[in-house]
Amino acid sequence: MIQKKACMLGSFSVGKTSLVRRFVESIFDEKYQTTIGVKVDKKVVQADGEEVTLVLWDLHGEDAFQKMRMSYLRGMSGYLLVIDPTRRQTLEDALSLQERVQEAMGAIPSILVLNKSDLLEEWDIDLDRVALLEERGQAVIRASAKTGEGVEQGFSRLASAMLQFPV
Amino acid sequence: MPEQAQRRAPIAPPEEKSVDGAFEDVSHVVLSPEPKQPKDNDASRAAADAIKMRRDKEDEAALAEALAPTIQATLRESVRTNPHVLADALFPVMGPAIRKSITETLRSMIESFNEALEHSLSWRGVQWRVEALRTGKPFAEIVLMHSLLFRVEQVFLIHRKTGLVLNHVTAPAVLSQDPAMVAGMLSAIQQFVHDSFSSPREDSLDSMTVGGLEVWIEEGPHAVLAAVIRGHAPADYRVALKETLEATERDFGSALDNFQGDAAPFRAADGRLQNLLVTHYRAKREARKPRMAIAAGVLLLLLAAGWIGYVTYEIHKWSEFARSLGQHPGIVVTSYEKSGGRWRVHGFRDPLAADPSLDFAQQGMKPGDADLDLVPFYSLDDSMVTKRARKILSPPPGVELAEHGENLAVSGTAPSLWIVELQERAPMIPGVSHVDDSQLRNAEIVSMQAIVLTFPVGRAELDPGQGAGVAQAEEDLRAIRNYAVRTNRQATVSIIGHTDSTGVEGTNQVLSKQRAGTIAAILARAGVPADALAPRGVGTTQPLRAEDTEEGRRLNRSVTFTVTLASAPGAP
């Protein structure tokens, strides 16, 4: 069975951990995220007719006090870039984060996850900007950790993209 | 994604052509209605080449997909027609694998069984049982905790760059968390420590300790080896880890380099990882085992020997006691036994037999140490009969009693009265059926026959001062005559007159007779019937003394007595 390392990236409190919790089997406590900055979970998904074991590194969200450890990204095959569309700033932060990641790792598969799709009316981001990103080839998905919408698809799409992308 | 497109682009067109050419040849050969005599080896080579080229094009999956149904059908047909062919072919692979699996299972089973068995029987085992009860943990776990020096429970082979698990082995009966997650987290922690505390020399975390567990980590350029160890492994285990990692880096170099997430090639590392799953029990246990076992054995032997010794001593003591008791005349021991913790001795005892309390003392025991159940009886043992006779007859001083097989021999000198009593009572004593009194003398007869009544020279009247002698004679004779009546006999007293040798024999004869007559007259006056008195004179013929002194001559001028007891005329 193929294994792939994938990371959950995004600002503090955008719902990365909620998405993962919705999706994975976990044996570790979430306190690892605050202590060492990461928690590793696992999920087996079907992608392109193949079973893929996703080893998900759920990284602590960046904030004013804690920078993300770039070293945790080493060896990943792809990542979910999660934003909270009700907070405009999270998209900006995510894009600058993606830039840093691309600098270090090159252009590897990624999915931009617009979380909290259940709170659509509260969204505050520039959706035109998102459409532009999509045009340029950035995979985008709307999801809700609360309702489960788009979660499975998000991870499956990432898995599929990672399989097709040779490292 | 342009990169992707670029990478996919290089597909060699000239090769493709040659393959297609070969395939054309083959299809032509197969499909042509009028075959133009193909060369067999050409066609087979073309088929082999075609397959090889297909594989070189990294399109192996398609080839495998195409061939799979055919190969499966072939295998099925082969098994159906002759199962031995496949079985024989697989034998070298399956045989050892099955053997190894069985051996391993048995070994670990026996090992843990032995371990548990051994400890369940020892004192320590009991302590651990208590501990298991107290802590609610299974006994096996407690045993393991105490007896284990170290045990490598899991070994992870991790791809260093991605933190993905390449291989993972566990010791038997060890429960492990999902290795993919553990390996990932282990890499994350590794990374965290490296980033947070790293020294200039690119050092990394090489061990972690959690309670009784240690995780030893060895990092290579491409792979990480992590061993989860219960207990404390020795330093040379680190060397084993290093060597295994080096060998793995060497043997799987390209697989590690090109790792795309498929861990299948690393199954081949199973053997070497299994070798790292070592278990060492406390060496102390082995060293102590014989010592403890010997000590326990010796103690047991000593106890057993002590017990046997004690029992033997006890039995010996009591048999000795019974034997010494039984040696006493008048005591018979029939049996002895221990019941209810006390010894009981059964038998018979003559009331006159020795006191058994002396025997207790002789064996170092107290009379209270045992119950003597001795029934009183009359013993016919000679000494007991003698004792009994002595008690019943109370013989006067100077009289001896001795029993010899139902015959009571009486010797010595006894008064007539006692002799009468003896003859009346002795036959009634148990054990006495006959009394031998041939050695018994009548005290009165002895006394009377010892009396010497002296006379002056040439005269037949008693010397002055002979009254006491006469009175003695009268008293003795009275007793003798009484005795004769009691024993149904007749007593006759010969009164013998003597003279000294002076004077003429004829005169002396007469004188001696006169002297006997004097005494007979005195006795007759005292009431002795004449027929019981037989006076006679012997002159000088039976002198009492030699006459070389005056005293000798004086004693020869005398009268003496001889008493005869004869059966009475009417006696049975």
Closest by CA position to B459, among listed B414, B506, B514: B514
Q: Is B188 on the interface with A (CB under 8 A)?
A: yes
What is the rounded average pLDDT of the residues A93-120?
A: 90
Mutation target to probe the B interface, by most B beta carbons within 10 A, among A4, A39, A55 is A55
Cite the DSSP H helix spans in B198-282. Answer: 235-251, 253-257, 270-275
| Backbone φ and ψ of B206, nearest 5° | -115, -5
Task: Indicate yes or no: CB of B181 within 8 angstroms of CB of A72.
Answer: no
What CATH number has the domain bearing residue A128? 3.40.50.300
On the question of pLDDT at B519 being above 90, the answer is yes
Contact B75, B89 (CB under 8 A): no
Q: How far is CA B51 from CA A88, B22, B275, in A?
A: 57, 11, 39
Mean pLDDT estimate for chain A: 86
Task: Indicate yes or no: CB of B188 within 8 angstroms of CB of A2.
Answer: no
Query: CA-to-CA distance for B465 and B554, rounded, in angstroms?
Result: 14
Q: Return the pLDDT at B357.
A: 78
Q: Return the pLDDT at B22.
A: 52
Look at B547 and B283; give whichever has higher pLDDT.
B547
Under CATH, to which class is B126-281 assigned?
Answer: alpha beta
Query: CA-to-CA distance for B547 and B499, rounded, in angstroms?
Result: 11
| Ramachandran category for residue A116: left, alpha or beta (phi over 0 → left; psi -120 to 50 → alpha) | left
Task: Indicate yes or no: CB of A38 within 8 angstroms of CB of B192.
Answer: yes
Q: Return the pLDDT at B213.
A: 85
Look at B23 and B363; give whichever has higher pLDDT.
B363
Q: Which residues pair with B156 in a beta bridge?
A: B168, B226
The reply to whether domains B126-281 and B451-572 share a CATH topology is no
Q: Number of folded domains in chain A?
A: 1
% of chain B at pLDDT higher than 70: 84
Nearest to B188 among A1, A3, A38 (CB): A38
Nearest to B181 among A42, A75, A164 (CB): A42
Task: Indicate yes or no: CB of A28 within 8 angstroms of CB of B185.
Answer: yes
Superfamily name with CATH number, domain B451-572: OmpA-like domain (3.30.1330.60)
Q: If you count residue pairs, one on A and one on B, with CB atoms under 8 Å apart, how many are there?
A: 88
What is the rounded average pLDDT of the residues A32-39?
A: 76
Q: Return the pLDDT at B4.
A: 43
ipTM of the complex: 0.87
Query: CA-to-CA distance for B220 and B241, rounded, in angstroms?
Result: 11
Look at B73 and B174; give whichever has higher pLDDT.
B73
In this structure, chain B runs to a length of 572
Closest by CA position to A5, among listed B423, B552, B344, B187: B187
Q: Return the pLDDT at A85.
A: 92
What is the rounded average pLDDT of the residues B401-416?
A: 90
Look at B233 and B1; give whichever has higher pLDDT.
B233
Residues of A in contact with B162 (CB under 8 A): 3, 5, 55, 74-77
Range of the domain at A42: 2-164
Query: CA-to-CA distance for B181 and A53, rounded, in angstroms?
Result: 10
Which tens digits make up the pLDDT trace of B169-221?
998 878 888 888 888 888 888 888 887 776 665 667 788 887 778 899 998 88
Q: Where are the domains of chain B?
A: 14-81, 85-121, 126-281, 288-376, 451-572
Q: Is B263 on the interface with A (CB under 8 A)?
A: yes
Tokens representing B128?
Answer: 């651990």
DSSP state of B232: -
Task: Indicate yes or no: CB of A55 within 8 angstroms of CB of B163.
Answer: yes
Task: Indicate yes or no: CB of B189 within 8 angstroms of CB of A74.
Answer: no
Task: Indicate yes or no: CB of B184 within 8 angstroms of CB of A40.
Answer: yes
On the question of pLDDT at B524 being above 60, the answer is yes
Q: Which of A108-117, B324-333, B441-450 comes out lowest in average pLDDT?
A: B324-333
Query: Which segments within chain A are labelled E, that is strand?
Result: 2-10, 38-47, 50-59, 78-83, 110-114, 139-142
β-pair type (B533-539, B489-498): parallel
Mean pLDDT estimate for chain B: 82
Angle in degrees, 0-180, between the axes of helices B467-486 and B505-525, rounded to the nearest 10: 70
On the question of pLDDT at A31 being above 90, the answer is no
Residues of B in contact with A29 (CB under 8 A): none
Q: To the nearest whole angstrom, how far is the Cα of B224 from the nearest Cα of chain A? A: 14
Look at B34 and B108; give whichever has higher pLDDT.
B108
Residues of A in contact with B3 (CB under 8 A): 107
Residues of A in contact with B219 (CB under 8 A): none
Q: Return the pLDDT at B366.
A: 78
The chain A residue lying nearest B6, using CA atoms, is A166
Look at B186 and A31; give whichever has higher pLDDT.
B186
Task: Indicate yes or no: CB of B180 within 8 angstroms of CB of A55.
Answer: yes
Query: CA-to-CA distance for A8 and A62, rounded, in angstroms?
Result: 12
Q: How far is CA B96 from CA B102, B169, B257, B273, B275, in A?
A: 10, 20, 32, 18, 17
Look at B154 and B141; give whichever has higher pLDDT.
B154
What is the rounded average pLDDT of the residues A148-163?
A: 90
On the question of pLDDT at B514 being above 90, the answer is yes
Q: To the nearest whole angstrom, how far is the Cα of A120 from the nearest Cα of chain B? A: 31
On the question of pLDDT at B475 being above 90, the answer is yes
The chain B residue lying nearest A78, using CA atoms, is B162
- In CATH, what number does B288-376 get? 3.30.300
Q: Which of B240-249, B272-281, B453-462 comes out lowest in average pLDDT?
A: B272-281
Which tens digits make up the pLDDT trace of B26-68?
555 455 554 445 555 667 778 778 777 777 776 667 778 888 8
What is the rounded average pLDDT of the residues B122-140?
A: 80
The chain A residue lying nearest B165, using CA atoms, is A3
Q: Which of A16-30, A41-55, B308-322 comes out lowest in average pLDDT?
A: A16-30
Nearest to B188 among A40, A42, A107 (CB): A40
Residues of B in contact with A76 (CB under 8 A): 162
Q: To the nearest whole angstrom, how far is the Cα of A96 from the nearest Cα of chain B? A: 21
Task: Indicate yes or no: CB of B261 within 8 angstroms of CB of A25.
Answer: no
**Residue B550 confidence class, pLDDT cut points 50, 70, 90:** confident
Q: Is B6 on the interface with A (CB under 8 A)?
A: no
Look at B267 and B122; give whichever has higher pLDDT.
B267
Q: Return the pLDDT at B499.
A: 92
**Residue B227 confidence class, pLDDT cut points 50, 70, 90:** very high
DSSP state of B311: H
Q: Return the pLDDT at B557.
A: 92
Contact B379, B330 (CB under 8 A): yes
Look at B308 and A30; give whichever has higher pLDDT.
B308
Query: CA-to-CA distance for A91 and A19, rounded, in angstroms?
Result: 17
